[in-house]
Amino acid sequence: MKTDHLVPYALALLRIVSGYTLMLHGTAKYFHVPHIEMFDNLQALSMPGIAGMIELVAGILLILGLFTRSAAFIASGMTAVAYFYAHAPQGNGLFPLMNGGETVVLYSFIFLFIAAAGSGAFSIDNNRRKL
């Protein structure tokens, strides 16, 4: 059974779900939804504050499929920086399991894949190309 026709839909699902979970990091930092106590006194121009802006904007763009490749590339870089800034110093950088960085590593490579593969189905980018 050939399933190649499902690839654009699978890519869209990956883009939307990963964009949503990324956006939640930004909403937690700036709108306290969901509320995470460590973000209560977040400074906008701090490293986590800037990351929150990127998470919020890139997450929304990914959900919509708007400027997908650029948003995903920036999100990939931001999550790579997050790994080396926040997780790698907590333990061996080659073992994300030991420093709590598994999720950020996966985010980085998921977003890098989306930057390379494009938006998939159900995206504003696809509709813009048709105009």
Report the number of distinct structural domains present in the chain. Answer: 1
Instruction: Tell me whether residue 43 is exposed, middle or buried, using C-beta atoms within 10 angstroms of its C-beta: 0 to 12, 13 to 18, 19 or more.
Output: exposed
Do you know the residue count of the chain?
131
pTM of the model as a whole? 0.92
Query: How remote is the C-alpha of 87 from its chain's centroid?
Result: 17
Whether the Cβ atoms of residue 46 and residue 83 lie closer than 8 Å to each other? no
- Is the predicted pLDDT of residue 128 greater than 90, yes or no? no
More confident residue, 46 or 92: 46
Residue appearing with tokens 């949503």: 20
Q: Sorting pLDDT into bands at 50, 70 and 90, what band is 121?
A: very high
128 domain residue, yes or no: no
CA distance 33 to 72: 23
Q: Give the domain extent around 46.
A: 6-122
127 domain residue, yes or no: no
